[in-house]
A = this chain, B = another copy of it.
Amino acid sequence: MTTKIVVIGAVAAGASAATKARREDEHAEIILFEKGPYASFANCGLPYYIGGTIRERKNLFQVSNEYFHKRFNIDLRVNHEVIKINRKEKNVEVVNHQTGESFNEEYDKLIVAVGGEVIKPPIEGVDSQKIFTLLTVPDADEIREELQNEPESVVIVGGGYIGVETAEELHHRGLKVILVEMMDQIIAPLDKEMTMPLVQHLKELGIEIILSDGVRKFQEEGDMIKVTLQSEREFDADFVILATGVRPRLKLVKDAGLKVSEIGVVVNEFMQTSDPNIYAAGDIVESTHLVTGEKVRFALAGPANKQGRIAGAHAAGKTKKKFKGVLGTSIVKVGDFTAASTGLNEKECQKRNISYYSVYLDKGDHAGYYPGSEDLTIKLLVEEETGKLLGAQCIGRKSVDKQIDVFATALQAKMTVEDLEDLDLAYAPPYSSAKGPVIMSGMIASNHLRYETDLISPQDLKSALEAEKDIQLVDVRTDREYEEGYIGGAKHIPLNSLRERIGELNPEKYTVVYCRKGYRGYLAYKILIANGFDTVENLTGGILAWN
């Protein structure tokens, strides 16, 4: 008897499930329903397609509609929307949007991979024809059409990665771009201070960024649209792109009475829902966070593809492969910068009352003596008692993707910062240094863990100064560096004179040392502690992290 597998949604998770099911069961009947006109398209490429970086529209399609039939013997039906799952009857109700007809299709196994839907905030005027969203190929087509009118300006609402990518791409095309974000930072997976250099960079490129302000009203005015913010600031633009996020499309599964949590569809490790004949995968499901063990949902393509693959295999009855969980590893190009993160950020550590410490490191992507080295900034979050890595963030112009992938691999292996210190990574001058950024961050974090140094974060130093705590603050940079600016109240003793001039400091006072990046501060820490100073802390990341 052949198994009949029906898949709903034909992009990341759904298409992966269908092709995998075919590989695992050559004789199954596989039907793949897709509401829109296209299957297997590169959602993630859409910002780059509207910007023109991706030149050819056809490049957006990974497996053509034709190949689903020819290569995979999958009955792909585009423009077919599933509107109901009848679990008792084991069938789904389908509308063919081309003919308007509807019909029922039976299944033995059903895989739901309907993804996310755009969140349209309930703002006055949000339904204007001049407001676009970007989720599908037709969405991108519409924006490309709008660009035919040679618009001069656009307001982008939302500073997540899609908003930022789109801003950069449209700026690149010559438009005046204004990006509006309600939060006080862009790219939420990163901590705020890590995003500040990115905002700075986007501004330098000529993109206007407005933080901590939301849209109150949209108003069409002739050929233009007026955007009024909460702060009463107003902008006129040719059009608007809403990049205010997506939420999981849960109606189908909820109506079918399948178990759904606050976060998303509840599934087991084989991606089975509460009905073992029904699977769910991709943006709609909740997953286990590999650091906290909590249930979470990240709308990302990697997990969607892997989950689809596991659902498809299991539905076809062939594998014991399980989906273990996610880290939320993500990355985004921000002009000439890259920003990436994996695991927990500081906000999340705080929310969970985890005892953690943070480490900042600025270091060249490769040996400084080989041309072209660019500094990148790493931030680690580390569990206080155990030294277990909790999360990492990285920004810079080069090699950020490498650092974050190594951190993600380390997180998956539940490594401590002492394990990072031991890593045997590749070094030749064009690629890294003998103790490259990941290893060095591990060394710094391990020193703190082993009580061989004591770090203070910029945030904690700020609080301490604001609380007017009695701090002996010592700047150990050179004269020139000091003259260019220092932290208020700091006494200046260059590192190389510290041994001679140590008598100028009071060993009984709580002392904080700092330099530019943290290295000289660390050396100063060691000298002071060895000379009987009671309590010394080194500002992690130095004045660079402070600013």
Contacts and interface: CB of A to CB of B under 8 A. Distances in A.
Contacts of A326: 424
A495 B70 CA distance: 9
Contact of A53 (B55, B71, B370): B370
Contacts of A522: 23
A435 B302 contact: yes
A501 interface: no
B429 A45 contact: yes
A290 interface: yes
A332 interface: yes
A59 interface: yes
Interface in A374-415: 399, 401-402, 404-406, 408-410, 412-413, 415
B409 A426 contact: no
A387 B24 CA distance: 21
A479 to B, nearest CB: 15
A526 B340 CA distance: 38
A239 B12 CA distance: 59
A426 B331 contact: yes
Contacts of A410: 409, 413
Interface in A405-445: 405-406, 408-410, 412-413, 415, 418-419, 421-432, 434-435, 438-439
B333 A430 contact: yes
Which of A27, A62, A402, A418 has its CB near the most chain B CB atoms (within 10 A)?
Answer: A402
A318 interface: yes
Contacts of A103: none
Interface in A272-331: 290, 300-306, 318-321, 324-331
A406 B409 contact: yes
A331 B304 CA distance: 33
A424 B327 contact: yes
Contacts of A450: 319-321
Interface residues of A, number: 95
A325 B302 CA distance: 33
Contact of A333 (B332, B418, B423, B428): B428
Given A26-B527, A412-B419, A527-B26, A329 B424 contact: yes
A423 B434 contact: no
A70 B422 contact: no
Nearest to A72: B523
A371 B434 contact: no
A251 to B, nearest CB: 26
Contact of A434 (B302, B325, B369, B438): B302
A242 B306 CA distance: 50
A370 B48 contact: yes
A496 interface: yes
Given A73-B499, A302-B435, A434-B12, A428 B161 contact: yes
A185 interface: no
Contacts of A370: 45, 48, 53-54
A42 interface: yes
B426 A27 contact: no
10 contacts: A22-B526, A23-B522, A73-B499, A300-B427, A306-B422, A329-B425, A338-B431, A342-B426, A401-B402, A409-B409
5 closest A-B pairs by beta carbon, nearest first, are A26-B530, A413-B413, A331-B426, A402-B402, A301-B434
